[in-house]
Amino acid sequence: MHKSILILGACGQIGTELTFALRETYGNESVIASDIREGSENLMDSGSFELLDATDYDVLEEVVAYYEIDEVYLMAAMLSATAEKFPERAWNLNMNSLFNVLNLAKDKKIKKIFWPSSIAVFGPNTPKTNTPQNTIMEPSTVYGISKQSGERWCDYYHHKFGVDVRSLRYPGLISWKTQPGGGTTDYAVEIYHKALAEGAYGCFLNEDTKLPMMFMDDAIKATQQLMATEAEKVKVRSSYNLSAMSFSPKEIAQNIKEHIPEFEISYKPDFRQDIADSWPNSIDDSKARQDWGWKPDFDLEKTTKVMLGNLKA
Ligand code: AKB
């Protein structure tokens, strides 16, 4: 069946790869990329592109009507580290864009929504290891507060208005096509770039800070899989825990050293250490596995091979 898809925040780390993946699945003409800024030539030339502020309801509504959009993937957000610097801007962007999309669905202008949540919904009082789907959630970051509130609104709009909204709590995402921006887990991408360019990396987290992580291909696979699942099987309408691997800066550095023996890492924790310390070190994603068959393909070793191979090329 033909469907028309709009991606908001298409030029970001996830948006870029999601746009390519969805264009591959549904055809270039069916997937409209949009962002507040321009992206790579590849992305803008392979299909339609709109310069669009996701917090502007009127423009969003116009674009949705013009392209007869069925599904919206809302990837625009301010991430954890930047959000600590601009709390109000982060709240406005993260919440208003979500309300806009939820209201479009409530008013039957679109049929389905994907909205990403994050491990940031958890906080210092959450059990750290194998963090369950349902547990204490008292986020201590601006970003985490916006994601937790967003989850409650998604659940509310689903149960109150029948909105088909689906969500995943992404861990830190590792990718080579587009760099992340403003997150706490960004070190796990920077480290590969620096290892190849300079043979050394100064890490802003301390060596034992273990965090949940995932290679981008797995994140895209999970997103597409969840969106393709029959509505009745999507039991969680806040957001699903999602997991692939967990490691510390010391462990990823050791892994990189197996490929680049001269690689050196040093540690100089900054304000992002507090953010990382408030997050889980591993996630129980059994609900996602049970409801829609989630299973990751990439561990740390496989991720390192693909990252170094592609960045070198
Ligand atoms: C961040 O570090 O802010 C993000 C996230 C874990 O959601 N990558």
State the distance from the centre of ligand 1 to the C-alpha of 143, rounded, in angstroms. Answer: 9
The one catalytic residue in 73, 143, 187, 201 is 143
Return the ligand 1 atom nearest residue 211 CA.
Answer: 6
Note if 143 is an active site residue. Answer: yes
146 lines ligand 1 (CB under 6 A): no
Q: Which ipTM value was assigned to this complex?
A: 0.98
- Per-residue pLDDT of the chain (313 residues), as tens digits, is 689 999 999 999 999 999 999 999 999 999 999 999 998 888 999 999 999 999 999 999 999 999 999 999 999 999 999 999 999 999 999 999 999 999 999 999 999 999 999 999 999 999 999 999 999 999 999 999 999 999 999 999 999 999 999 999 999 999 999 999 999 999 999 999 999 999 999 999 999 999 999 999 999 999 999 999 999 999 999 999 999 999 999 999 999 999 999 999 999 999 999 999 999 999 999 999 999 999 999 999 999 999 999 999 9
pLDDT for res 1:
67
Q: Any bridge partners for residue 183, and if so which?
A: none
Return the ligand 1 atom nearest residue 147 CA.
Answer: 7
Return the ligand 1 atom nearest residue 119 CA.
Answer: 6
117 lines ligand 1 (CB under 6 A): no
pLDDT for res 2:
83
Exposure of 89 in the CB half-sphere (CA atoms within 13 A): 10
113 lines ligand 1 (CB under 6 A): no
State the distance from the centre of ligand 1 to the C-alpha of 26, rounded, in angstroms. Answer: 28
State the distance from the centre of ligand 1 to the C-alpha of 275, rounded, in angstroms. Answer: 10
> How far separated are the first and last CA of the chain, in Å rounded?
38
Query: b vs e for 201-211, b when ≥16 Cβ sit within 10 Å of the residue's Cβ?
Result: bebbbeeebbb
State the distance from the centre of ligand 1 to the C-alpha of 276, rounded, in angstroms. Answer: 9
Which domains does the chain possess? 5-171+216-241 (3.40.50.720), 176-213+244-312 (3.90.25.10)
Return the ligand 1 atom nearest residue 170 CA.
Answer: 7
- Do 240 and 227 meet the contact criterion of CB atoms below 8 Å apart? no
